[in-house]
Structures are given as structure tokens and as C-alpha cells.
Chain A
Amino acid sequence: MEIYRTFEGQYQGVYLARFVNCPFYKTPEDYETELDKIQDHLQNPLYVRDFIKSSQSGWKKGSYKNDNLNFLVKQVLLESADLFDKLDKISEESLGGDCFETLFDEFIELSKSERIDDPGRRKMYTYDHGSFLRLYGIRLGNNAIIVTGAGIKLVGKMQGSSALKMELNKLDYLKDWLKNENITDCTEF
């Protein structure tokens, strides 16, 4: 497992994961981090269209099954640009001072029962309503989020899509890795 900073000299805020020794998933060599990979995929109309059409997305099992394919692809492409703008803003805002509120408000728990889990599985929406995309990460202590991946969510539950199940496994793997390495926070001392 490799963890990257988003800024030189950073000691809190948004961090990025790269999966290297994970038995079931490896970040492709072409990409610096998982975020780099997501950015490339979600801006690629060929990838997004093929992905939604495939059984991995769960499109035909979810509530968008009657929506036009190209309409969904266009929405995802437009939203991904906004998602990266939002993450860029959050990563800058969380650099100085107490960033607990910023990270806690924007990255919410995956399920209500894990609200106080530390390390805990978290997700970020692009918009307050109607987001197709989710950014996933692990919250560590009060001042750090480690981004593990993203997903196009067209199903009610993550278990309804094989791609989202993989995102769950990646989250769990990082959470266990942090526990095994006894990493509890990102404070200076």
C-alpha cells in the first residue's frame, strides 16, 4: 500500500491511495494514484459508455434502467468535471488549521452505524442531490481522508454492482492495513 500527499509539506487533509501489494487489486502502472486513474476514466466517453453498458455497473437492475444510455453518459462526464473541482477545493481548504469540519461534512459515513468508526469508510457526493458519482475514502483521526477510488452509482445498494463491490473491498483493505500498521492519526508528533 502506498499513500501520497496532495501537496508538498502537507501534514493533514486529503491523501491518495495507490494499491501495490493488495492480493485482489493493483493500481495500474500507468497511473500515479487511484485518483489519477479515476480522473482518466471518468472523462473518457468510450470508457464511461462501455462501463455503463456492461453488467459491472448494474444499470439494468437499478432505478435508471429506463434512462437513455447516452443521457447517462453525458451526465457522468459533466459531473466528473464538477467532482474534481470540488475535491480540488476541499484539498486546498483542508491544508491549514482545523480541517475536521470540512472533511467530516463532505465525506460522510458509508452507513449510519459506522458514523464514529476510526478509521472509517466514507463517501463524497458531487452535489447535494442527484449525484451519479461517489468518491470513496477512509477517514483517519480528525484530520485526514485517504481517497481509495470512485464509482458510478446506478444501483440502490453497492452490493448491486460488481464494480462498487470492488470499491468496498478496497476500502476494507486500506482500513485493515491502517490498523495492522497501527496508524492512528496524522498529527505532527
Chain B
Amino acid sequence: MTNNLNSKVSKTATHWKVRAKNDRANRRNINRAQEFALDLMEFMETHKITQKELANKMEVSPQQVNKILRAKANLTFDTLDKIADALNVTISSPKIEVREKSYSRTVSTTMQVVHRHKQKEIAEDLNTVMISKKNPFLSTTLENMNEYLDPVKEN
């Protein structure tokens, strides 16, 4: 006797959907935090500085440094200053610059599609109701089974 996969499935995974939604909403922040973490890791590796040493110099916990390197920390100016002082470096401040319009929005969008899989807006409702294309008249119920079991009654 063969088994149906659905008979073995008892749980619904929700974590990845929630995470995907949050990450999509915060992509710019995440990218920034990731790039900063990579720069920091490269500097630490070049100068042979461990996470613990950096934490000591910054006067924070090693967990806090680990969080920064995992791009999970919400970086404030205060934290950036602590890192800069601890490593004796300058971390450039954000500057306001006017965006250059070197090519039109249409060309820009087309380039994005060519180079990367176009990101689409996806409905986020985790309780999405399934849309079945099956003909409802074909579904077997106790009511419509009776017609086959007792045809004389109909006549």
C-alpha cells in the first residue's frame, strides 16, 4: 500500500516566511550592516584583533561585538564612535549627496531585470486561502454518493 505525503505532514513552517518578509522590508539596512561587518572583519583580521579584544577596548560585551559582525546590531553613532576609538580609525559620517541622473528610470529598471532576478512584491498573508481550480461538482461527498447508491429512489 502506498502513502500520501500529506498524511505524514502535521506541522506548518512559519519562521522562514516571517523572516523573508522582514528582510525584504529592511533590505537596505541589512545590506549596510553586512557591508560594515565585512569591512570590520577584514580590518580585525589584518591587524589580528579578536572579538574579545575589541569588546574589551569598546567596553562592551563580546556578544555585542558578535552581534555587530553578524549584522544583527542596530548601529548607532555612539557604537560607531566606540569602534573608531577602539581601533584608532575614522569611520566616515553619513553625507547628503544629490543623486546623479545619468540614465532614465526605465533604463535603470531594465538593467536591474537583466542583471538580477526581478524582485516582485509578494502577498505576505501567511493564512492565504488556497485557490483550487478543481471543479467543485467533481468532489465526492456523502450527499452526492447517495445518488449512485440508491438510483431507484430518484425515479
Contact = CB atoms under 8 A, between A and B. Distances in A.
B34 A32 contact: no
A88 B17 contact: yes
Interface string B18-47: 011001100100110011011001100000
Interface stretch (B2-10, B56-64, B146-154): B2-10
B120 A5 contact: no
Contact of A95 (B4, B38, B117, B128): B128
A77 B34 contact: yes
Interface stretch (A56-64, A79-87, A155-163, A164-172): A79-87
Given A43-B23, A96-B131, A186 B116 contact: no
A76 B34 CA distance: 11
A55 interface: no
B103 interface: no
B119 interface: yes
Nearest to B13: A4
Q: Which of B6, B17, B69 has the most CB of A within 10 A?
A: B6
Task: Place the interface of chain B in its size category.
Answer: 35 or more
Contacts of A49: 38, 41
Nearest to A119: B5
A8 interface: yes
Contact of A81 (B2, B12, B23): B23
A92 B5 contact: no
B22 to A, nearest CB: 11
B34 A97 contact: no
Contact of B4 (A33, A39, A126, A186): A186
B123 A92 contact: yes
Contacts of A187: 4
A124 to B, nearest CB: 12
Contacts of B31: 77-78
B11 interface: yes
Q: Which of A6, A81, A98 has the most CB of B within 10 A?
A: A81
B109 interface: no
A103 to B, nearest CB: 13
B1 interface: yes
B83 interface: no
Given A39-B20, A85-B117, A92-B122, A5 B13 contact: yes
Given A15-B9, A49-B41, 8 more contacts: A5-B13, A7-B12, A16-B16, A36-B19, A77-B34, A95-B130, A96-B133, A188-B4
Interface of A: 2-11, 15-16, 31-33, 35-36, 39-40, 43-47, 49, 70, 73-74, 77-78, 81-82, 84-86, 88-89, 92, 95-98, 126-127, 140-141, 144, 146, 178, 181-189
Q: Closest 4 CB pairs between A and B?
A: A4-B13, A186-B5, A96-B131, A97-B133
